[in-house]
Amino acid sequence: MNSINIFNQDCMQMLKDLPKNSIDLVVTDPPYIVKTEGGGAGAFGYQNRKWHQEIEFMTNGFSNNVLDELCQVMKKINIYIFCSQYQLTQLINYFENKKCNWNLISWHKDNPVPSCNNKYLSDTEYIFFAREKGVKLGGTYYTKRKYYVTHINTKEKHQYKHPTVKPVSIIDNLIINSSKEQDVILDPFMGSGSTGESALKLDRKFIGIEIKPEYYQIACSRLKKFDRQI
């Protein structure tokens, strides 16, 4: 297979076409369930209607059907999922039923949007990690921490014109810990291609799927430095 295979499609259809047992690691950032009622809507707030609509599109969560499809294509369950606190019950129940080991990694932002509506700040996102028994965790003392603290990554959001871009510096560690060179990394909710950038930089192969043509094009531009065929 090529180093990069990216598709502008609905992952629910595309995943059915991927060969079973072909993926070494999934690192993905599906639509989050976030509760914005009465509070901030992330770094962009409500300043801009387009961003607001985009954030709404990305806050419907995802169903266990996606997880079923992902379990079919992975060689062994080995998956990182960015999520909010509202998806933790779903994920823990799903992967405990599959008899997986799991960990919770957290990403804290030290400059969150102020909130004064009887709620805690929106300063934390989670990365849920599940692996089947027998799947090894590599990496080093420095790559295996379970918490990250950064500023809100406004610069990357503007650079890649996507409201929920994730930091490549965090994804690098996940990929280093849970895969080796030439392994196949899949992101079925690719967005602007942050997982792809990390995977390709680290000499892994990458499969990405994104439903929205504009984000697919952004990922193409972002990843083409790794492959002249894009």
Ligand X SMILES: C[S@@+](CC[C@H](N)C(=O)[O-])C[C@H]1O[C@@H](n2cnc3c(N)ncnc32)[C@H](O)[C@@H]1O
**What residues make contact with ligand X under the rule CB under 6 A?**
10-12, 29, 31, 58, 162, 164-166, 189, 191-192, 194, 209-212, 215
Rounded CA separation 192/223 (Å) = 9
Q: Which is nearer to ligand X, 68 or 96 (CB)?
A: 68
Q: Which is nearer to ligand X, 11 or 101 (CB)?
A: 11
Least distance CB 89 / ligand X (angstroms): 19
Q: Which is nearer to ligand X, 107 or 215 (CB)?
A: 215
| 58, 31 Cβ separation under 8 angstroms | yes
Q: Which is nearer to ligand X, 101 or 217 (CB)?
A: 217
Least distance CB 65 / ligand X (angstroms): 10
Written as six digits, the tokens of 150 are: 């950064």
Least distance CB 173 / ligand X (angstroms): 15
Least distance CB 70 / ligand X (angstroms): 12
